[in-house]
Amino acid sequence: MNSAAPTLSTRPASPAPLPRFASGARGEGPDDAVGDAATVRFMTVPILSTFPAATPVATAATWLWLGMVLAISFLEAPLKFRAPGITLPLGLGIGRLVFRALNAVETVLAVALVVCVLLGPAPGEVGAAVAVLALLVQLVAIRPRLTRRTDAVLAGGPTDRRSHAHVAYVVVEVVKVVGLVATGVVLLP
């Protein structure tokens, strides 16, 4: 039986590895820790930087989000007002419900996309950031104005003037689509 006491080493422990950057580079020396600004675009969270499902989940979330936006914003919304018997107040009431549901699903998909970009080797952070920021602008700046406008119309207010908030929403929707397409293309194998 060996009764020798554990010995303490005077050699310093090896340093913890530096975080992995989106470019795949790892810092090894003091100068490498900062990285080249042109190469290091985004830092992943070191503890979970090998989340293996990040790219497939981000890809699915991106294309699903894009499909929903195209189907609802650019197909269902304009066609709804051409259906026989649909009045402006009825169309606005339906649109409110549909876009509230769409924005809720978009928020979930945006969170999934952000988590995948942060935790895993999923590229496309620029396009994802554009799409997420566009959604935030819609939810925080434009939707409240649209709600006030539809409240006024549903209460019997004037319907003859064009809504600038609707035009702004469509412009931001186009920006979101561009961000989602860019992200989806980058994520494809």
pLDDT (0 to 100) of residue 2: 53
Does some domain include residue 8?
no
Does some domain include residue 137?
yes
Q: Report the C-alpha gap between 57 and 62 in whole angstroms.
A: 8
Does some domain include residue 43?
no
Is the model's pLDDT at 116 over the cut of 70? yes
Does some domain include residue 61?
yes
Does some domain include residue 3?
no
Is the model's pLDDT at 38 over the cut of 80? no
Does some domain include residue 28?
no
- The mean per-residue pLDDT over the stretch 42-67 comes to 77
Is the model's pLDDT at 100 over the cut of 80? yes
Beta-bridged to residue 29, according to DSSP, are none
| Structural domain boundaries enclosing 170 | 54-187
DSSP 21: B
pLDDT (0 to 100) of residue 4: 54
End-to-end CA distance of the chain: 58
Alpha helices in 120-142 (DSSP H): 125-137
Q: Report the C-alpha gap between 112 and 57 in whole angstroms.
A: 8
Return the minimum-mean-pLDDT range out of 61-70, 82-91, 103-112, 174-183.
Answer: 82-91
Does some domain include residue 9?
no
Query: pTM, whole model, 2 decimals?
Result: 0.72
Query: Residue 131: is it exposed, middle or buried by C-beta count within 10 angstroms (0-12/13-18/19+)?
Result: buried
Does some domain include residue 47?
no
Question: Is 43:22 a contact under the CB 8 Å cutoff?
Answer: yes
Domain count, the chain: 1
